[in-house]
Amino acid sequence: MKSKMYVGGIFVAALLGGCGVANETTVCTSAPQSDWLNQDQFQAGLLTDGYQIQEFKVTEGNCYEIYGQNAQGDKIEIYFNPVDGSIVKEEKH
């Protein structure tokens, strides 16, 4: 009986362990695109603030995402809420 519980526990742990990281999507907004900031104006504001943008895209989670450098020269990946421009997630590389 104990061996069945042990095997069952391993199966559940393996199943749950496979659920998370690979499917993790950063979600920024559910607002319609008509409420979003203009992409060109948004990028221009970032450039004015000292960012260097190597790549700009709209993600599956409805974020404006940039890859580039911040004003301090750090390599960054940032997800912005396209409605208000707030930072939702930021990673320095």
Least confident of 15-19, 68-72, 73-77, 82-86: 15-19
Please state, in angstroms and rounded to a whole number, the distance separating the CA atoms of residues 20 and 30.
Answer: 21
Residue range 27-92, CATH number: 3.10.450
Q: Which residue has the higher pLDDT, 35 or 13?
A: 35
Would you state the pLDDT for residue 23?
64
pTM check: above 0.85: no
Is-contact 67 82, C-beta < 8 A?
Answer: no
Per-residue pLDDT tens digits for 64-78:
999 999 999 999 999
The mean of the pLDDT values for the chain is 85
Tokens of 82: 């396209």
In the chain, count of helices (H) and strands (E)?
2, 4
Would you state the pLDDT for residue 87?
97
DSSP 20: S
